Every structure is written in C-alpha cells, then in structure tokens.
Structure 1
Amino acid sequence: MRAADLQVVLPVARRETTAVEAGRLIAEGGLVGLVIANESGTPTAILSAVDVLQLMVPDYIIDDPSLSSVFDEKGAGELWDRLDERTIGELLDDDGVTVRRMLTIEPDDTLIEVAARMVDARTQIARVKGSPKDAPTFVTLPSVVNAILGYWAGKGPEGRTG
C-alpha cells in the first residue's frame, strides 16, 4: 500500500478563517486536525482539532475549568455569541498552541514510510507531494492506522485473507 492509495482531499483554512467556519470543517469532516494555508494558498501547517476547540472556550474557563459548572445552557450559549469574531490567526500567534509544520510525503511512499514519518513529525496529517494546489491531497492518521489494522487482521492491502 502506498501513500497515493490513502490520499484524500481535505478542506484548507487560512488565518482569517473564523472559529465557526473552522468548527464546521472539523465537525462535518470528522477531522483530527485542520490544514492551514499561507497567504499564497499553500498548505503549510496543521492545528489539532483540540486547539481549534480552544477558540470556542473562553480563556478564563480554560485557566479554571471548575468555572464551567456554573454555566447553564443559556449562559453557555452566551459565551459562544462572538465565535464569528475569533480566527485561526489567534491560534497561530499563540505561543501555547503547537502548530505543526506540514509534512510532505511522496505518493509512492509505503505505508510503513508514511507511518514512521508521521510519528517522527508528530503530525496527524501529511500532504501528498504533487497534488494540485486547488485540490491538495493528504494522508490522515486515521487512514494510516486503519490500513495498519487491515494488515494486522490478515486482510492485506487489497482485502485478501492470508
């Protein structure tokens, strides 16, 4: 199995992407992270979905999670009234947030090469080299783990047994 066999098109966000837009991308796509493009549109970084969630929770509650228990549904809803004003750029500029550099892999890299490089880079998403700029393709951590488990189960790359 090669990287090209696992590649998928993922949405790409930018600095100006709002917390609402980023949240929708993650929720609708079941994403583990969000690909971030630079000013020219080239994917250069990854933010974990947890870090994007951080945009949706006020800093004072993150600093003291016990405060979260004093909010009922209405109060919690009021916390989220301004989500459309917060952007991915805030996370990119936050020293407390780990922004991963985009790992680029070759389409013919083997499954073990992809897995090893993703672990070494500590990333959930890798860009497949040579994919079009307007529809870049990526390999995700869940697809790599799923492929490894397929081998482990004795199914092999094409679903054969034995």
Structure 2
Amino acid sequence: MQASDIAVEVPTVTLDDPVTRAVKIMADRQLPGLIVVDRASHPRAVLPGSQVLRMIVAQTYQRDPALARTIDEAHADLFWQELEHRTVSDCLPPQPSKKVAVQADATLLEVAGVMARMHSPLVAVVAPDGRLSGCITLSALLIHLDLPDTTG
C-alpha cells in the first residue's frame, strides 16, 4: 500500500492565517494538526495542535499542573483567548526542521518513519511537482496497518 492510497484531502493554512482559524479547523474536523502551505500549495510545515497549546499555555502552568489548578474555572476556560492576534507563523519555530512530507508512492513504513522521526501526528503527501496532494493522520495510518487481532 502506498501513501496515495490512504491520503485524504484536508483543509490547509498559510503562515499568515490567524491561528484561531487553524484551531477552529482542527476542532471542526477533529484533526491533530494541519499542513501549512505556501501560495503554490507546497507544504512548508506541520502545525500540530500540541504546538499551539505550548504557545498559549504559560510555561509555569506547563511545568506545574498544581499551579494551573489554582485558577478558577471561569478564568481557566479563557486561556485560548491569548491566540486572538497571533498567526500560524507565530506557532512554528523560526527555522522549521525537515519537511514532514512523503512522496505519493511512499510505503506505509516510510510514512510511519517520518511521523516517528519528526514527532508529527500527520504527514503531507506530495505529488511529483511538490504540491500537496493529501494528508495522512496517525489514526489513518494505524487503521491501515495489518495489526494482529488481540480481542480474543
């Protein structure tokens, strides 16, 4: 099985899009992240939802969950409003590491290897011209692996 066999179309974002748009798309489509593309639809990076959270949740609360517990519920539910004026670019490292993409003819092992190496919950699938042709999420990859039945 090849990457193109299980890739699906997903919405994308650009570096200039508001991060609130990205979060809304992830929530609406139940995606673990999004592919960031340039104007020519070439994948540039993956924006994992966890990276967005790392950016908006103060380091003190990340390091000490007990401290986060001291914030009352009404105020704790509003932490996401810190995203209001930020862009997708703000959520990514200044120099994104290697692209999280595979060619359409990549095997599932190649896809799994990229996901594992890059700690990415999704991988872009690119056509020979480098344009995005689809995306594979970790859950889709796991569904298509020939795993043994352990139910009984």
- Band of TM-score, shorter chain: 0.7 to 0.9
Q: TM-score of the superposition, structure 1-length normalised?
A: 0.70
C-alpha contact 1:26 1:34 (8 A) present in aligned 2: yes
Structure with greater Cα Rg: 1
Length, aligned pairs only: 149
Deviations 1:8-30 (A, max 9, x none): 11221222333322221221222
> Which residue number corresponds to residue 10 of structure 1?
10
Deviations 1:25-59 (A, max 9, x none): 22122222221223654211113211112244244
Bigger relative contact order (CA 8 A; separation at least 6)? 2
> Which residue number corresponds to residue 152 of structure 1?
147
Gaps of 5+ in 2: none
Deviates further, 123-132 or 7-16: 123-132
How far residue 63 of structure 1 moved from its aligned partner, in angstroms, is 5.1
Distance 2:93 2:120 in 1: 19
Distance 2:109 2:130 in 1: 26
> Which residue number corresponds to residue 159 of structure 1?
none
How far residue 69 of structure 1 moved from its aligned partner, in angstroms, is 1.7
Distance 1:129 1:80 in 2: 32
- Write out the 4+ residue segments of structure 1 that deviate beyond 4 Å after TM superposition: 131-135
Distance 1:17 1:41 in 2: 14
Shift in alpha-carbon separation, 1:113–1:134, aligned structure 2, 3 A: closer
Shift in alpha-carbon separation, 1:119–1:82, aligned structure 2, 3 A: closer
C-alpha contact 1:58 1:79 (8 A) present in aligned 2: no
> Which residue number corresponds to residue 111 of structure 1?
108
Q: What is the RMSD computed on CA atoms of the aligned residues?
A: 3.1
Distance 1:6 1:88 in 2: 27
Distance 2:48 2:87 in 1: 15
Q: TM-score of the superposition, structure 2-length normalised?
A: 0.74
> Which residue number corresponds to residue 70 of structure 1?
70
